[in-house]
């Protein structure tokens, strides 16, 4: 008995019919170049499209950070070559304040949404969900394709904003009004902001289309025997990620709609009593800028977990596989992810402690925020106990997974500081915050992503990445990441605010001149190392060492039961049936037992 | 040769129907966000109290009627009464359009009472009404377009299609936007 999949393209809206038939399945569709590589409906190809588009944005967003780090590290130097590439944005080889703010804003937007949301969960949810739950494809491959193309167009719109005369939006990635609501507020608030909001609206649509599909696929398309408690933790994590996205992105969207009306139709949702230099007093009355912050952070905080959860899931899977041990506390892992997903919706106001929030309300948000430490600590404990006395194989994927745990611990601890509303009065909007979220969310999730890429690259392309380059990539990146962000804690504790253009003119922050130069130098080295990784990636797609066996890591999960280069439909024959959970490593003297192996007579049932 | 019936097949909701339910949850979140913003904003200064246009009662009736007709259309389809089915979905789509037209009449009515929805003289109380109602109208429009698609497809298709899935999905969605409006109507009238 098998599930047969037919791609029904002729009925207008493409849909996937799953029928139960008792003969061998066959997948019929024509693979021209356009349908195979461009308008592909194969989840594996869409995953690669997300990944490579994400890489493009990671390079661009990373390069932006290098450019503004040049300004921060070398505020008195001039770089004539900057004028060659940036033109009027770097007059005399010096990045202008407008360009600096535009770079900071675009760096944030691009890295948070395009790289760590679309690039991370877009890639791995697409790639892993059907393969690991045992499905031919997503619930709706057509919607899946649309999800990528909405993301792609969102990217084109964002990219085009870099080239408009008044520059891209420059009011920070959070796009708080009034900077985002008034065209007269700054150069970037004109066309740049229009393009920013169009791009983000398209991005929300893309995320929703993707998220709907991921949820439906996990809940409805699992193969026979694949109960929810037999799912690998990657799938649980990607599932919670999708739920968070589907419930929080619409709220961001409603915030954006009100913003559009304030910008273009003269309403006063967010604006009140504003006097703009040159334009005079505005008629808007009674609006509240704080209202936007509520709507924004209601997405904004779950967004942090949208970024982090896929990394957590992949790290759990990779740690277990490469420790040759079952994951410690499987149910506790699911429970803690569930707790994180719930709490994600209840802590948004900790971004707003200093907005005049009622202190009593603030203390409730402090409590809820600090509660997140509990599931986080459970997860860390389980990762460490999975490693404990494991038969560890230090593959590059494993190195990055361990690096993730390290970063998650050191970045998570500072979260306990920041979640405290009294400490936040001092730490708010300082480099301490920058250090905290870059380590715990930015770099940690990048590490999860790298771990995922190194681990599943053989499944994606049928070849290995170069190991030596992988280790070089890992060591420089982890040491560099700590060297960049660790000193920022000290700067932040000393009160150095974020988003300033030039600290050398401030008596209090002058002392950090050398430190800032050091950070900028390391940032350049780390950025160059990522280029090395990309070279490894693209070289290995074509010339990497070829995969000889279907299961190179000795892994239990279903994706390794497919052929080395699976076609559309994933399994040439029937979809395998699942008899056990994904973590039977080192059981009864067996190194690993695939999920497709029936429970033996003398074996204890999990 | 195994002949055991696969358990997963039955009792499970169709993936596309499931996608719709999750999508509806997502839409609920958007309107929940907007109506919460409305409540927050209302407790602040400079809030205009005004009465809703009476024509909204008629638009409410028309969308409730359309829910009844789409339910009859679904029954007609399942009974293979194709002619009746086509008439009923046409009436449903028409009632959907009528609903939208009546909403616009309501907006005009407010403008005539010198309560502008948008623009420099507007108050956010009415702007919220405008934004939320227009967003809801766009969702109704989506339903109307979907109805038109299956209507045209019923004529164009050479192969007779007996799957009631598309009309089932649209009717679920249609009831959803109906309930959504009833919620908004109650919210604007009494909960605010």
Task: List, for residues B29-72, the tens digit of each pLDDT value.
Answer: 999 999 999 998 888 878 888 889 999 999 999 999 999 999 99
pLDDT > 90: percent of chain A? 83
Domain range A39-592, CATH class: mainly alpha
Give pLDDT, residue B45: 78
pLDDT of residue A70 exceeding 90: yes
Per the structure, the complete domain to which residue B125 belongs is given by 52-191
A410: contact with B, CB 8 A cutoff = no
Q: Which pLDDT band, with edges at 50, 70 and 90, does B192 fall under?
A: low
A16: contact with B, CB 8 A cutoff = yes
Give pLDDT, residue B7: 39
Please answer yes or no on whether B37 and A249 come within 8 Å at the CB atom. no
Which residues in B lie closer than 8 A to residue A20 (C-beta atoms)? 6, 9
B3: contact with A, CB 8 A cutoff = yes
Give pLDDT, residue B5: 37
Judged by DSSP in three states, A6 sits in: strand
Please answer yes or no on whether B29 and A269 come within 8 Å at the CB atom. no
Of A216, A224, A261, nearest to B15 by CB-CB distance is: A216
Would you say residue B66 lies in a domain? Answer: yes
Give the mean pLDDT of A136-143.
91
pLDDT of residue B184 exceeding 70: yes
Give pLDDT, residue B150: 87
Would you say residue B147 lies in a domain? Answer: yes
Closest Cα in chain A to B4:
A1
Residue A519 structure tokens: 């950070």
Give the span between the Cα atoms of B61 and B28, in whole angstroms.
22
Would you say residue B72 lies in a domain? Answer: yes
Give pLDDT, residue A23: 37
Would you say residue B168 lies in a domain? Answer: yes
For residue B109, the domain's CATH number is 1.20.120.80
Q: Which of residues 287-316 of A touch B (CB under 8 A)?
A: 287-288, 291, 294-295, 298
Please answer yes or no on whether B119 and A287 come within 8 Å at the CB atom. no
Would you say residue B117 lies in a domain? Answer: yes
pLDDT of residue A27 exceeding 60: no
Which residues in B lie closer than 8 A to residue A143 (C-beta atoms)? 19
Lowest average pLDDT, out of A21-30, A303-312, A314-323, goes to A21-30
Please answer yes or no on whether A216 and B27 come within 8 Å at the CB atom. no
pLDDT of residue B105 exceeding 70: yes
Would you say residue B32 lies in a domain? Answer: no
Would you say residue B11 lies in a domain? Answer: no
Q: Which of residues 217-246 of A touch B (CB under 8 A)?
A: 217, 219-222, 224, 246
Residue pair A288/A356 in contact by the 8 Å Cβ criterion: no
Handedness of CA B93, B97, B98, B100 (dihedral sign): positive
Please answer yes or no on whether B4 and A250 come within 8 Å at the CB atom. no
Residue pair B97/B104 in contact by the 8 Å Cβ criterion: no
- pLDDT tens profile A552-584: 999 999 999 999 999 888 999 899 999 999 999
Please answer yes or no on whether A212 and B26 come within 8 Å at the CB atom. yes
Instruction: Give Cα separations from B67 to B70, B80, B152 (angstroms).
Output: 5, 20, 21
Give pLDDT, residue A274: 87
User: Which of A181, A213, A250 is the best substitution to test chain B (most B C-beta atoms within 10 A)?
Assistant: A250
Q: Which pLDDT band, with edges at 50, 70 and 90, does A219 fall under?
A: very high
Give the span between the Cα atoms of A199 and A160, in whole angstroms.
10
B160: contact with A, CB 8 A cutoff = no
Give pLDDT, residue A282: 86
Give the span between the Cα atoms of B169 and A436, in whole angstroms.
46
Would you say residue B40 lies in a domain? Answer: no
Give the mean pLDDT of B129-149.
95
B156 burial level (CB within 10 Å; 0-12, 13-18, 19+): exposed
Q: Which pLDDT band, with edges at 50, 70 and 90, does A226 fall under?
A: very high
> Tokens 């461009």 identify what position?
A38
Q: Which of residues 198-217 of A touch B (CB under 8 A)?
A: 208, 211-213, 215-217
pLDDT > 70: percent of chain A? 94
Domain count, chain B: 1
* Number of A–B residue contacts, CB under 8 Å: 129
Give pLDDT, residue B16: 83
Q: Which pLDDT band, with edges at 50, 70 and 90, does A101 fall under?
A: very high
Q: Which pLDDT band, with edges at 50, 70 and 90, does A29 fall under?
A: low
Q: Which pLDDT band, with edges at 50, 70 and 90, does B74 fall under?
A: very high
Nearest to B108 by CA among B144, B142, B66, B59: B59
- pLDDT tens profile A2-22: 333 443 333 333 334 443 333
Q: Which of residues 414-453 of A touch B (CB under 8 A)?
A: none
pLDDT of residue A165 exceeding 80: yes
Please answer yes or no on whether B122 and A294 come within 8 Å at the CB atom. no
For B157, left (φ over 0), alpha (ψ -120 to 50), or beta?
beta
In this structure, are strands A585-587 and A2-8 parallel, antiparallel, or unpaired?
unpaired
Give the span between the Cα atoms of B115 and B107, in whole angstroms.
9
More confident residue, B159 or A412: A412
pLDDT of residue B12 exceeding 80: no
* pTM for this model (two decimals): 0.91
Of A1, A249, A269, nearest to B127 by CB-CB distance is: A269
ipTM confidence score: 0.90
Please answer yes or no on whether A269 and B123 come within 8 Å at the CB atom. no
Residue A270 structure tokens: 């967010």
Phi, psi of A388 (to 5 degrees): -55, 120
Task: Please give the mean pLDDT across all residues of chain A.
Answer: 91
A249: contact with B, CB 8 A cutoff = yes
Give the span between the Cα atoms of A442 and A7, in whole angstroms.
38
A254: contact with B, CB 8 A cutoff = yes
């Amino acid at each position: 008995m098998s599930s047969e999949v037919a791609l029904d393209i002729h009925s207008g809206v493409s849909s996937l019919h799953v029928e139960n038939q008792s003969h061998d399945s066959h997948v019929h569709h024509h693979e021209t170049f356009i349908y195979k590589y461009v308008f592909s409906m194969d989840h594996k190809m869409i995953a690669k499209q997300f990944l490579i588009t994400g890489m493009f944005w990671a390079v661009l967003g990373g390069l932006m950070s290098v450019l503004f780090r040049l300004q921060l590290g070398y505020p008195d130097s001039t770089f004539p070559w900057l004028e060659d590439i940036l033109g009027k944005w770097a007059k005399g080889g010096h990045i202008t304040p407008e360009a600096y703010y535009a770079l900071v804003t675009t760096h944030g937007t691009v890295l948070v949404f395009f790289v760590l949301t679309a690039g991370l969960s877009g890639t791995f949810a697409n790639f892993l969900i059907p393969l690991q739950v045992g499905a031919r494809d997503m619930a709706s491959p057509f919607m899946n394709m649309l999800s990528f193309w909405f993301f792609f167009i969102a990217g084109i719109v964002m990219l085009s904003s870099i080239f408009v005369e008044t520059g891209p939006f420059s009011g920070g990635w959070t796009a708080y009004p009034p900077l985002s609501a008034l065209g007269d507020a700054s150069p970037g608030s004109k066309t740049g902001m229009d393009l920013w909001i169009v791009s983000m609206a398209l991005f929300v649509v893309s995320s929703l289309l993707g998220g709907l599909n991921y949820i439906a696929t996990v809940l409805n398309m699992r193969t026979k025997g694949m109960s929810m408690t037999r799912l690998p933790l990657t799938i649980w994590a990607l599932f919670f990620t999708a739920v968070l996205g589907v419930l929080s992105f619409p709220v961001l969207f409603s915030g954006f709609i009100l913003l559009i009306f304030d910008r273009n139709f003269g309403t006063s949702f967010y604006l009140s009593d504003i006097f703009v230099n040159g334009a005079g007093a505005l008629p808007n009355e009674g609006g509240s800028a704080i209202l936007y912050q509520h709507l924004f952070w209601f997405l904004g905080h779950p967004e942090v977990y949208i970024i982090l959860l896929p990394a957590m899931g992949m790290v759990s899977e990779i740690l277990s596989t490469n420790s040759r041990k079952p994951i410690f506390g499987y149910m506790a892992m699911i429970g803690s992810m569930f707790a994180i997903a719930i709490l994600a919706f209840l802590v948004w106001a900790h971004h707003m402690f200093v907005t005049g929030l009622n202190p009593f309300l603030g203390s409730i948000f402090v409590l809820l925020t600090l509660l997140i430490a509990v599931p986080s600590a459970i997860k860390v404990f389980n990762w460490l106990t999975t490693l404990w006395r494991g038969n560890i194989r230090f593959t590059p994927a494993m190195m990055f997974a361990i690096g993730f745990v390290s970063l998650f611990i050191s970045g998570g601890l500072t979260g306990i500081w920041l979640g405290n509303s009294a400490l936040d009065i001092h730490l708010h909007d300082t480099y301490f915050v920058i250090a905290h979220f870059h380590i715990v969310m930015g770099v940690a999730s990048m590490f999860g992503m790298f771990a995922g890429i190194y681990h599943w690259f053989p499944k994606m392309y049928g070849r290995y990445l170069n190991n030596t380059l992988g280790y070089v990539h890992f060591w420089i990146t982890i040491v560099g990441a700590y060297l960049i962000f660790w000193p920022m804690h000290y700067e932040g504790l000393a009160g150095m605010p974020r988003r300033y253009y030039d600290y050398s003119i401030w008596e209090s922050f002058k002392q950090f001149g050398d430190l800032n130069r050091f950070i900028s130098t390391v940032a350049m080295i780390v950025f160059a190392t990522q280029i090395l990784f990309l070279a490894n990636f693209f070289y290995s797609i074509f010339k990497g060492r070829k995969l000889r066996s279907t299961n190179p890591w000795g892994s239990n999960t279903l994706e390794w039961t497919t052929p080395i280069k699976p076609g559309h439909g994933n399994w040439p024959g029937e979809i395998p049936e699942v008899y056990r959970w994904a973590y039977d490593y080192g059981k009864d003297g067996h190194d690993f037992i695939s999920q497709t192996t029936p429970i033996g007579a003398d074996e204890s049932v999990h | 040769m195994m002949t055991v019936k696969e358990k997963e097949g039955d009792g499970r909701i169709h993936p596309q129907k499931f996608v719709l339910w999750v999508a509806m949850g997502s839409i609920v979140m958007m309107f929940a966000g907007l109506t919460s913003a409305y409540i927050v904003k209302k407790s602040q200064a400079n809030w205009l109290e005004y009465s809703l246009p009476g024509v909204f009662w008629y638009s409410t009736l028309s969308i409730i009627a359309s829910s009844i007709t789409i339910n009859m259309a679904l029954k007609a389809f399942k009974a293979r009464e194709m002619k009746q089915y086509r008439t009923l979905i046409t009436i449903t789509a028409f009632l959907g359009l009528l609903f939208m037209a009546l909403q616009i009449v309501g907006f005009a009515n407010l403008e005539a009472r010198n309560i502008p929805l948008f623009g420099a003289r507007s108050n956010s109380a009415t702007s919220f009404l405008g934004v939320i109602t227009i967003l809801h109208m766009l969702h109704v429009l989506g339903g109307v377009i979907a109805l038109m698609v299956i209507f045209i497809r019923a004529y164009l298709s050479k192969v007779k299609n007996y799957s009631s899935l598309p009309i089932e999905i649209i009717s679920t969605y249609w009831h959803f936007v109906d309930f959504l409006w009833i919620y908004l109507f109650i919210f604007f009238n009494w909960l605010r």
